Chains A and B, each alone.
Chain A
């Protein structure tokens, strides 16, 4: 009963936020230099043709009318056009999205695989060497600029040691991509049984995802540590010790189960970091995703992709946090059952 109410309330609260997001994004569109009509009309347009295009695009209308057009355009999937590629932004986006998705998923997985155990160990062995090392790594990780981490990784693992391949994109030059099923090369390679592509895509993915994972690993580990510490000193854990339950079970069973719930909510915030980091990492590693797309557009003052990227990231952030909150409600029995 109460769960349904919670879900409803949460869903409804998304609406004003999304509305605000479109407002901010529209404001950016409005103030970005460059005339979208000029992009559409082309470089050879006469002033009269340009004026005609401007009129048709409603650029002479009052702001709130333009906002209306903007939003209805969004619903139709019209994100404007890119001056550099000459194609609709939506098309470019869809083509490039899988690359960013693959990078984001790989980074998040890596960050959790390392960050969560690190946090647990830090909490269990509080104030020992393990804890101090973990905290130093955490504190340093947060302070290192992502682009610098990436460069260091490339320098050490590609240039000096030669383990990793050159940071030139998703596949080694010369290899063809596997047939598109999901757009994620790793999965598509497995599905197609294309082992050279699989090896190469994993190798290419290694450094960029390690870079991104490194910068979000620290907040995850910190959160896990703080949560575990709190839980380990709680009454029910003490009761579990008193009942003679084995140590492993108490820590990794009872305590961790309780800790995972607030950790899930951290992931929503972490996602924001990841999306921001994507832009930088994709640039350093020449990764053909939407972050790279946006940065290039910014440098060439191509306004269509810029505001679409910004809007996309914000909308994704809102949706991811919504999913996280709903997940939380489902996973935590205290909320699920009135």
Chain B
């Protein structure tokens, strides 16, 4: 309570950072999840610097060896170090869902704002379209889209984005409808603010908290969808490396006891998705009770 007041830096700015840190400390799980995401992202980004081996370097001498001090996560048929491969694969596994989520967010927010603000038949048409697309489970839609569009990296990003866009449209539209009815929008209109200004300045900022929560959760889901596509052979293909695809490679080796080839890639997927989900949940808890007051 008095920490913020005692800080030498401007109290208004510093107290929010201090408060955020305090809340994080009280939620070790969320903190751990954020740490995981940071660690994986850094490992992916700096893979060329910190990976123990070149992911494509073959070494027949240690082919198909289990986790050892030499190869922490074992090697595959060609002697390629799995740990290094996983680190490099992390790039696609993180970048593609991120790119998809970001673009879906941007498009979905725009369309949703339009639907919510314009209302009447524009809204109706957009919502019918949204419902139609949402009738397709994400993976199934992605399967169809990859077949139609192809499985280059760009097209996979597009596919994943398309599966997410309807969700954001619906979310933003809902918020827009809610906020539009509020009085300060009326007031702004009365004073003569043009429509786009009202939307940008007044309405959009309210939509940001639920958007961030949804986007974080969607990252995890996009990762799962992409991994499933790649596992089935429909997404990322060699020579590009991705965790789902690596799991598929490892399937055949299960019955010859070389379990590390399918276990670790899948484990990476799980850990990453788990981290995104926990952060998303943490964000949701953080943003929600703040508006409702102390939990009793």
Contacts and interface: CB of A to CB of B under 8 A. Distances in A.
Direct contact of A and B (CB under 8 A): yes
Nearest to B259: A155
Interface string A137-180: 00110111111100110110001000000000000000000000
A32 B148 contact: yes
B270 A144 contact: yes
A275 B140 contact: yes
A155 B254 contact: yes
A211 interface: no
Interface stretch (A90-98, A182-190, A294-302): A294-302
A207 B171 CA distance: 37
Contacts of B97: none
Given A28-B144, A151-B254, A145 B136 contact: no
B207 interface: no
For A143, A159, A314, the residue with the greatest tally of chain B CB atoms inside 10 Å of its CB is A143
Interface stretch (A17-25, A44-52, A54-62): A17-25
A interface, over-half SS: helix
Contacts of A88: none
Chain A interface category by residue count: 35 or more
B interface, over-half SS: helix
A29 to B, nearest CB: 9
Given A145-B228, A146-B228, A280-B231, A151 B140 contact: no
A31 interface: yes
A17 B128 contact: yes
A206 interface: no
Interface residues of B, number: 45
A147 B228 contact: yes
Contact of A143 (B128, B140, B273): B273
A298 B140 contact: no
For B140, B146, B227, the residue with the greatest tally of chain A CB atoms inside 10 Å of its CB is B140
B259 A148 contact: no
A203 interface: no
B204 interface: no
A306 interface: yes
Contacts of B132: 16-17, 19-21, 23-24
Given A28-B145, A159-B254, A303-B147, A148 B138 contact: no
B199 interface: no
CB-CB nearest 4 A-B residue pairs: A20-B132, A148-B266, A276-B139, A143-B274
Given A16-B132, A143-B220, A148-B270, 14 more contacts: A17-B128, A20-B132, A24-B133, A28-B148, A143-B274, A147-B228, A148-B247, A155-B262, A283-B232, A294-B143, A301-B147, A306-B147, A309-B143, A317-B136
9 contacts: A16-B132, A21-B135, A140-B274, A145-B224, A155-B263, A294-B143, A298-B143, A306-B144, A313-B136
